[in-house]
């Protein structure tokens, strides 16, 4: 075979190999583009699913006042778009509607507002009264639903003023600048009210629910 005959064959082989390399590169680029497109579609679908994810929660269709019995007409359902579990946990779900009906509201909820978790209380009965008490001091940030101890002032046998813990684990209904509404056993209302009126109000100390302390000493001047 002469050199003249070999040269075209070599060129043909080189052209074929170049074409194959280009084809492989094209396939590789196409695969990369396809994977990128698939990832984009997945991300978009996830974002769309999150945007459309809703949670059914309860809302007040009319004003619900603390201390009143919750009725079915006061509770509606709203669809809430939220991805924060903490926000969802702080609200009453639509499945709790039947449980809340007939319970007593522990705080006031305005019409159109979402119902907070723990709004209803079964412990409130005919034996518990809502009592407004003047306050001498209260912790900052006190809010409805908190549990407090009531410190009151009286006069010891020596004639000296004495402060002591009159009640513990009292649930707050509503907070105002100079008073609080609380649930009190009916048998204790008159005595606590007398202490508040004659001592210039009560001192409110926030406490953990159920964390009742025994044999707390009184304090006063010498």
pLDDT, position 163: 84
What percentage of the chain has pLDDT greater than the value 70?
82
Q: What is the 3-state secondary structure (H, E, C) of 8-44?
A: HHHHHHHHHHHHHHHHHHHHHHHHHHHHHHHHHHHHH
pLDDT digits (tens, 9 = 90+) for 142-193: 988 888 999 988 776 777 778 888 889 888 888 998 999 988 888 889 999 9
199-210 pLDDT, tens digit each: 888 999 998 877
State residue 206's pLDDT score: 92
Does the pTM surpass 0.85? The reply is no
Q: List pLDDT tens digits, range 4-43.
A: 555 666 666 666 777 777 788 878 888 888 888 887 777 7
**Is the Cβ–Cβ distance between 120 and 104 less than 8 Å?**
yes
Distance CA(86)–CA(77), nearest Å, equals 19
With a CB cutoff of 8 Å and minimum separation 6, the contacts of 131 are 181, 182, 183, 184, 189, 192, 193
- CA-CA distance, 138 to 209, in Å (whole number)? 17
């Amino acid at each position: 075979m002469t050199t003249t005959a070999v040269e075209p064959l070599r060129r043909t082989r080189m052209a074929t190999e170049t074409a194959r390399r280009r084809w492989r590169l094209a396939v590789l680029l196409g695969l990369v583009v396809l994977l990128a497109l698939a990832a984009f579609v997945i991300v978009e679908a996830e974002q769309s699913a999150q945007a459309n994810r809703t949670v059914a929660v309860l809302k007040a269709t009319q004003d619900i006042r603390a201390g009143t019995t919750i009725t079915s007409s006061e509770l509606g359902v709203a669809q809430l778009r939220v991805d924060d579990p903490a926000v969802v946990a702080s609200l009453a779900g639509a499945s709790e509607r039947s449980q809340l009906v007939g319970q007593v509201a522990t705080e006031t909820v305005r019409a159109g507002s979402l119902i907070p978790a723990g709004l209803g209380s079964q412990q409130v009965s005919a034996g518990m009264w809502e009592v407004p008490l003047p306050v001498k001091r209260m912790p900052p940030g006190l809010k409805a639903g908190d549990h407090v101890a009531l410190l009151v002032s009286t006069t010891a046998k020596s004639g000296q003023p004495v402060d002591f813990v009159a009640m513990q684990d009292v649930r707050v209904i509503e907070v105002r600048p100079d008073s609080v509404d609380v649930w009190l056993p009916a048998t204790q209302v008159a005595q606590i009210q007398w202490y508040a009126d004659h001592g210039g109000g009560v001192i409110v100390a926030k406490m953990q629910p159920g964390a009742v302390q025994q044999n707390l000493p009184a304090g006063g001047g010498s």
